[in-house]
Homo-oligomer: A and B are copies of this chain.
């Protein structure tokens, strides 16, 4: 049986990561995770102490895997700026978990977010990309890529694709990549939008 390939502890952790990602922390009960992992509920407490303990274990595991993945890619030569779209299924899964964790609020997720912002800002500076507010842009960019992870099921649905499939995720990543390469609007359009709002405000 493939569920016996790993220790019960690892199976619990993986099941928790899966369910936390899909449903969020609050909507996932200990017994749901136990059933998914094929163990009793008590074993989860035995291994992780509490639900929060399990959650922290999941956070650090996902975080470590992401760091490891990044180091391995770096060792192979080119540096991925980090904000660019992702084409790897495993990394997508873990990034989606982090997105969920950011929504649910966890220390590891906060650190992850700040780390991405730091890294992106550094990339901007090192590559001479001039902009009025580099850190602001880096933070906005991190939130945007987070949104892609968090709302990927909505994206898939809007595209008529099956949620969670590689097909849907790759299409989304490719489209996001296009958006990063081409300006979406001119300054004039943005200014017009600002003007319209100002006119509206003056009226009310």
Contact = CB atoms under 8 A, between A and B. Distances in A.
A147 B163 CA distance: 18
Interface residues of A, number: 78
A140 B175 contact: yes
A80 interface: yes
Contacts of A72: 200, 204
A117 B143 CA distance: 19
Contacts of A146: 147, 150-151, 154
Given A177-B190, A194-B87, A147 B151 contact: yes
Given A143-B155, A203-B76, A136 B183 contact: no
Interface in A145-196: 145-148, 150-152, 154-155, 157-159, 171-172, 174-187, 189-190, 192-196
A81 B189 CA distance: 9
Contacts of A80: 193, 196-197
A179 to B, nearest CB: 6
Given A76-B200, A78-B196, A200-B76, A180 B175 contact: no
Contacts of A15: none
